[in-house]
């Protein structure tokens, strides 16, 4: 009988070995996937036992911890001392509504789960000593003064401001209006739901600076002008006759103001005064694919890089409505797209303010597009720097000559063109206005994009401002906001 008993014993042992294997599977291999699941409350609650790393700006703390003892356990809840100033970039970390912003994308650092050997040793020792795990601190590049100025300037309007250093890609300001107080998310979400602004729905949680998609209007002419100059077919001095309209597929496309045709104008003048018909004809001459090619070099059709969660950034480009949703659309043939309208920012183009700031930045930076970043460094609890962001070039968007020529045209637009409202003494500013009509009176999307810097030096700031539901032009609404933010960021002493 012993032979049979041995076989039965083997089966019994095999059953138990299966259990060890299965336990190993769930605790090692399947663990990250389970931890990611939204309905995993254990993971969400457990992370509140970690003393989360703080989030800082160069001057202030924007996210810190408030310990509370619950049932003998110390739990660390988040407080955001700067309230709504940096809400969209920093995001929130709560029990009730999980996480957004940097709180979400950098969760592994903030909870100390990105492990190097030394931090693993430190953590194990802390665990044995019963000390809480401490996460890494995140230092951002945001300028709170710039954030405050931007939000105040945006006021009740729905819109966004993005400002970055074109030389490095360092994000200086990213504000979305209306904003919300992240301290309300956990316990007073009703307050956030009640926020109203000059648009419906007000969607205060949406980061319009990188998630909002708007028709670019005339700001897209910067891209078209770049494409035209890069093609070699057009020079800044090339002249065009402006009849006040342009004919596309037998239909007339009018200038913003049809009463005064410009007559014969150069490309430079056309950009300075934002003449639609000239760009319409350039667009027809170049074809849609060449313009889109140039747009891609500026970063269109890619999600703009930034440390915030991927779902909070959207790529810019042509969109079409399909299955009740917006879908990025890349035309295969030139005739699929109305190149004339696209050339001055209509057609089905939708862009984010972050993308347009990158366009202005590349022009200001001699044609080189830098990778935007908002996290300067990540610091371990033992004060050792775990990660420091080095400025990275994405690619050359246009040649130095094109950048210089388009830049000069934009400077003229601010000196004596559509963007005069953005002038600041002592600074060289090049900008482009945009006014996209949505077909409903008084509900234009208005834009201003610009680069700026001290006279005779490389520009040190690129900015994009967008506003929804405006009755006036970009030059009248968005340019003054850009001016205030530029002043706050470049001439801080003048605005104490």
Residue 95 or 188 having the CB closest to another protein: 95
Of the CA atoms within 13 Å of residue 363, those in its CB half-sphere come to 37
Residues touching another protein, count (CB under 8 A):
46
Closest approach of another protein to the CB of residue 438, in Å: 35
For residues 55 and 50, what is the distance between their CA atoms, to the nearest angstrom?
Answer: 15
Q: Would you say 215 and 247 are in contact if contact means Cβ atoms under 8 Å apart?
A: no
Residue 15 or 440 having the CB closest to another protein: 15
Q: Which of residues 130-169 bind another protein (CB under 8 A)?
A: 130
- Per DSSP, the residues of 357-390 read HHHHHHHHTTTEEEPPB-EEEEE-TTS-EEEEPP
Site string for another protein, 32-71 (x = CB under 8 A): --xx-x-xxxxx-xx-xx--------------------xx
Closest approach of another protein to the CB of residue 134, in Å: 16
For residues 199 and 201, what is the distance between their CA atoms, to the nearest angstrom?
Answer: 6
Residue 13 or 401 having the CB closest to another protein: 13
- Active-site hit among 105, 179, 210, 218: 218
- Residue among 66, 72, 129, 200 that touches another protein (CB under 8 A): 72
Contact between 383 and another protein by CB under 8 A: the answer reads: no
Calculate ∠ Cα 121-127-133, nearest 5°. 85
Closest approach of another protein to the CB of residue 92, in Å: 15
Contact between 23 and another protein by CB under 8 A: the answer reads: yes
For residues 316 and 81, what is the distance between their CA atoms, to the nearest angstrom?
Answer: 33
218 is catalytic: yes
Q: Which of residues 106-125 bind another protein (CB under 8 A)?
A: 124
Contact between 233 and another protein by CB under 8 A: the answer reads: no
Longest pairwise C-alpha distance within the chain: 109
Residue 2 or 259 having the CB closest to another protein: 2
Q: Which stretch binds another protein (CB under 8 A): 24-32, 226-234, 350-358, 474-482?
A: 24-32
Give the strand pairing for 239-242 and 263-266: antiparallel
Q: Which stretch binds another protein (CB under 8 A): 25-33, 346-354, 373-381, 461-469?
A: 25-33
Closest approach of another protein to the CB of residue 124, in Å: 8
For residues 393 and 361, what is the distance between their CA atoms, to the nearest angstrom?
Answer: 12
Choose among 359, 415, 420, 413: nearest CA to 216.
359
Closest approach of another protein to the CB of residue 119, in Å: 15
> Which residues, including other chains, have CB under 8 Å from residue 62's CB and lie 6 or more apart?
55, 56, 80, 81, 82, 85, 86, 90, 140, 142, 144
Helix/strand number for the chain, H first, E second: 18, 20
Closest approach of another protein to the CB of residue 41, in Å: 6
Contact between 12 and another protein by CB under 8 A: the answer reads: yes
The SS3 call for residue 58 is coil
Q: Which of residues 426-485 bind another protein (CB under 8 A)?
A: none
DSSP letter assigned to residue 218: G
Structure tokens at 282: 């350039």
Contact between 16 and another protein by CB under 8 A: the answer reads: yes
Q: Each residue of 418-428: b (16+ CB within 10 Å) or e?
A: bbebbebeebb
Closest approach of another protein to the CB of residue 54, in Å: 21
Q: Which stretch binds another protein (CB under 8 A): 28-36, 135-143, 166-174, 263-271?
A: 28-36
Known catalytic residues? Answer: 218
Binding interface with another protein (CB under 8 A): 1-9, 11-13, 15-20, 22-24, 26-28, 30-31, 34-35, 37, 39-43, 45-46, 48-49, 70-72, 75, 95, 124, 127, 130
């Amino acid at each position: 009988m012993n032979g049979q008993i041995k076989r039965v014993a083997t089966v019994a042992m095999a059953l138990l070995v299966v259990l060890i294997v299965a336990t190993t599977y769930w605790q090692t291999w399947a663990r990250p996937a389970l931890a990611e699941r939204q309905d995993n409350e254990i993971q969400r609650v457990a992370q509140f036992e970690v003393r989360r790393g703080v989030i800082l700006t160069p001057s202030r703390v924007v996210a810190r911890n408030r310990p509370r003892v619950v049932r003998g356990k110390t739990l660390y809840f988040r407080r955001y001392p700067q309230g709504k100033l940096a809400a969209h970039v920093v995001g929130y970390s709560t029990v009730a509504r999980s996480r957004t912003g940097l709180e979400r994308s950098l969760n592994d650092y903030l909870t100390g789960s990105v492990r190097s050997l030394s931090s693993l040793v430190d953590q194990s020792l802390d665990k044995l000593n019963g000390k809480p795990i401490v996460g890494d601190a995140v230092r951002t590049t945001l300028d709170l003064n710039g954030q405050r100025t931007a939000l105040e300037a945006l006021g009740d309007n729905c819109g966004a401001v993005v400002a970055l250093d074109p030389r490095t890609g360092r994000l200086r300001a990213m504000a979305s209006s209306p904003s919300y107080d992240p301290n309300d998310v956990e316990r007073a979400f009703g307050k956030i739901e009640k926020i109203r602004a000059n648009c419906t729905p007000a969607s205060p949680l949406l980061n319009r600076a990188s998630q909002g998609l708007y028709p670019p209007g005339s700001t897209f002419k910067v891209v078209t002008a770049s494409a035209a100059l890069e093609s070699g077919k057009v020079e800044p001095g090339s002249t065009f006759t402006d009849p006040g309209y342009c004919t596309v597929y037998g239909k007339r496309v009018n200038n913003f103001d049809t009463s005064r045709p410009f007559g014969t104008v150069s490309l430079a003048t056309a950009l300075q005064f934002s003449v639609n018909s000239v760009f319409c004809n350039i667009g027809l001459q170049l074809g849609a694919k060449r313009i889109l090619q140039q747009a891609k070099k500026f970063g269109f059709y890619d999600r703009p890089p930034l440390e915030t969660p991927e779902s909070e950034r959207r790529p810019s480009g042509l969109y079409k409505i399909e299955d009740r949703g917006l879908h990025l659309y890349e035309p295969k043939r030139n005739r699929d797209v109305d190149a004339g309208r696209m050339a001055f920012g209509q057609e089905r183009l939708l862009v984010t303010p972050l993308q347009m700031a990158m366009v202005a930045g590349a022009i200001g930076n001699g044609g080189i597009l830098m990778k935007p970043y908002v996290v300067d460094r990540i610091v371990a609890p033992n004060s050792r720097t775990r990660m420091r962001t080095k400025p990275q070039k994405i690619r050359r968007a246009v040649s130095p000559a094109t950048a210089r020529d388009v830049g000069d045209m934009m400077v003229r637009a601010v000196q004596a063109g559509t963007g005069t409202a953005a002038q600041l003494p002592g600074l060289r500013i090049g900008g482009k206005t945009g006014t996209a009509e949505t077909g409903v009176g008084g509900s234009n999307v208005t834009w201003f994009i610009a680069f700026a810097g001290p006279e005779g030096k490389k520009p040190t700031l690129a900015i994009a401002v967008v506003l929804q539901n405006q009755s006036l032009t970009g030059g009248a609404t968005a340019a003054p906001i850009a001016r205030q933010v530029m002043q706050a960021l470049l001439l801080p002493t003048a605005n104490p």
